[in-house]
């Protein structure tokens, strides 16, 4: 081996890494993508996504309800924080329901399906009883529960349909009955049409559309064939066209899709156009929290159906995209829970809740953007309304419970908790062993100090 100039043998260098490995390590975008992919594949990702996105949507919704409802409250000679306090109370109760639902076992959720369906049907029948039901904005879908509080039973009907439909389809799948079309359709389709009839008696077509979306979501998860979907969709579409054609109010809402001028008289598209004005004036980062102009009487229902427009005006494009990203994360997590479970009830219930929240968000935001007719449905977890917030938060608690119950998530939680418990147990054990000796030493020192020893 030839020597070097110093007379020492040359240093043998380690073989270099392959060029692909060096490029992968040196590319920050590729490293970021790899880390993100590993994070998405973790067993607790769905759990954290459901919990984090739902809480962020609720908290941001409380802030926007407070901002968007102040002027409306003052115009009604009420304190400026009136609607915020009611929404905060509903959020606190909903948080307790979310926690309870997230800790319930699956068998208890299945046991609640039939009582919840029966209770929802009973309350929806009471809505149509004169003297009990109340009309709001032309829709007879409310019950007064005392004082300023009102209850909309059709909102709880969504949750009841999800739980009952998931339990029904899961039991039929266990008996291998879903291969027959009559078991696929009966009794879930007749019961859903009964709920739709009770809702349409009050004139609330927006909620009826959400229930129809939940039905289609459950049938799709159950593996319904395409011809069955076409048949059910044809019946639903025919009934929808008849209901729209026979109502001038609904025809006017369809005429406002894509409108750019408020109009006058029967052709007025005031709410739809001023929602666009609010979004357009927000710019990239908005005019600032609380600085909306449209909420000063120009935009009707600024804190309920059109709160997304006020969000765009005050928080700008950045705020609206953040809300959309949170709903996308919640929808992705729900799909992941439904796709990874082996329990048919969990799959149907998670898919039904995800369909419900996603479809309602799309309909509300599409109406604000002028892409869909105004259906009068609130933005889930975001708009003002305790009757809509309570069942939605319970449904989110369902998703959290199902995400925690995934095999991988259950194993990850089981590995995390005992390790902490063993550490604390070891600390307590060592303290217990040295406890009597340390206590005796401290007692002797105290006696020595009291006797004057130094």
The upper half-sphere exposure of residue 365, i.e. CA atoms within 13 Å in the direction of its Cβ, equals 17
DSSP 278: H
pLDDT one-digit tens code per residue, 85-96: 999 999 999 999
In the chain, the percentage of residues whose pLDDT exceeds 70 is: 85
In the chain, the percentage of residues whose pLDDT exceeds 90 is: 57
Question: According to the model, what pLDDT value does residue 421 have?
Answer: 47
Tell me the mean pLDDT in the region 211-227.
92
Angle between helical axes of 153-174 and 386-404 (0-180°, round to 10): 30
**Does residue 125 contact residue 118 with C-beta atoms inside 8 Å?**
no
pLDDT one-digit tens code per residue, 98-137: 999 999 999 999 999 999 999 999 999 999 888 888 888 7
pLDDT one-digit tens code per residue, 318-373: 999 999 999 999 999 999 999 988 899 999 999 999 999 999 999 999 999 999 99
Question: Rounded to the nearest 5 degrees, what angle is found at the Cα of 144, between the Cα atoms of 142 and 149?
Answer: 100
Question: Rounded to the nearest 5 degrees, what angle is found at the Cα of 99, between the Cα atoms of 93 and 104?
Answer: 125
Order of strands, sheet of 133-136, starting from the edge strand that comes earlier in the sequence: 133-136, 139-144, 150-151
Residues shown for the chain = 454
Token couple for 251? 């025809």
Band the pLDDT of 35: cuts 50, 70, 90.
confident
- Low-confidence winner among 32-41, 216-225, 253-262, 272-281 (lowest mean pLDDT): 32-41
Tell me the mean pLDDT in the region 262-286.
86
Question: According to the model, what pLDDT value does residue 261 have?
Answer: 85
Question: According to the model, what pLDDT value does residue 70 have?
Answer: 94
CA 425 – CA 413 distance, rounded (Å): 18
- pTM, two decimals, is 0.84
CA 29 – CA 87 distance, rounded (Å): 42
Question: According to the model, what pLDDT value does residue 451 have?
Answer: 43
The upper half-sphere exposure of residue 435, i.e. CA atoms within 13 Å in the direction of its Cβ, equals 7
Question: According to the model, what pLDDT value does residue 10 have?
Answer: 58
Token couple for 312? 């765009």
**What are 139's strand-pairing partners?**
136
Helices marked H in 341-372: 344-368
pLDDT one-digit tens code per residue, 409-452: 777 877 775 544 444 444 444 444 444 444 444 444 444 444 44
Token couple for 34? 């790899």
Higher pLDDT residue, 114 or 408? 114
| pLDDT exceeds cutoff 70 at 23 | no
**Does residue 352 contact residue 272 with C-beta atoms inside 8 Å?**
no
């Amino acid at each position: 081996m030839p020597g070097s100039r110093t007379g020492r043998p040359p240093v043998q260098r380690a073989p270099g890494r392959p060029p692909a490995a060096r490029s992968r390590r040196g590319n920050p975008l590729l490293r970021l993508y790899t880390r993100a992919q590993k994070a998405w594949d973790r067993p607790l990702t769905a759990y954290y996504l459901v919990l984090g996105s739902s809480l962020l949507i609720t908290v941001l919704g409380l802030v926007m309800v407070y901002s968007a409802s102040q002027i409306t409250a003052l115009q009604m000679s009420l304190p400026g924080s009136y609607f915020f306090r009611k929404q905060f109370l509903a959020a606190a109760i909903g948080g307790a329901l979310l926690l309870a639902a997230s800790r319930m076992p699956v068998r208890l959720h299945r046991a609640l399906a039939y009582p919840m369906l029966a209770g929802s049907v009973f309350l929806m029948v009471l809505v149509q009883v004169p003297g009990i039901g109340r009309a709001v904005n032309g829709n007879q879908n409310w019950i007064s529960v005392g004082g300023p509080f009102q209850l909309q039973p059709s909102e709880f009907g969504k949750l009841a349909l999800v739980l009952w439909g998931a339990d029904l389809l899961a039991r039929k799948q266990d008996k291998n009955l879903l291969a027959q079309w009559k078991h696929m359709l009966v009794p879930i389709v007749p019961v859903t049409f009964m709920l739709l009839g009770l809702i349409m008696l009050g004139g609330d077509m927006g909620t009826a559309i959400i229930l129809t979306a939940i039905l289609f979501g459950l049938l799709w998860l159950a593996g319904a064939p395409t011809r069955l979907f076409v048949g059910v969709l044809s019946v639903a579409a025919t009934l929808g066209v008849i209901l729209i054609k026979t109502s001038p109010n609904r025809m006017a809402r369809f005429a406002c899709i894509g409108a750019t001028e408020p109009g006058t008289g029967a052709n007025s598209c005031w709410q739809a156009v001023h929602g666009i004005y609010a979004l357009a004036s927000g710019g990239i980062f908005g005019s600032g929290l609380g600085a909306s102009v449209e909420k000063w009487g120009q935009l009707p229902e600024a804190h309920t159906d059109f709160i997304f427009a006020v969000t765009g005006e005050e928080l700008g494009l950045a705020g609206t995209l953040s809300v959309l990203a949170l709903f996308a994360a919640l929808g992705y997590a729900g799909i992941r829970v439904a796709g990874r479970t082996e329990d048919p009830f969990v799959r149907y219930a998670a898919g039904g809740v995800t369909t419900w929240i996603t479809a309602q968000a799309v309909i509300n935001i599409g109406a604000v953007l002028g892409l869909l007719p105004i259906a009068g449905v609130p933005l889930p977890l975001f708009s003002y309304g305790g009757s809509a917030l309570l069942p939605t938060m319970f449904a989110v608690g369902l998703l959290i419970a199902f995400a925690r119950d995934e095999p991988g998530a259950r194993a990850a939680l089981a590995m995390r908790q005992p390790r902490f418990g063993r550490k604390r147990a070891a600390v307590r054990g060592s303290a217990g062993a040295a406890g009597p000796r340390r206590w005796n030493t401290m007692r002797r020192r105290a006696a020595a100090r009291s006797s004057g020893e130094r």
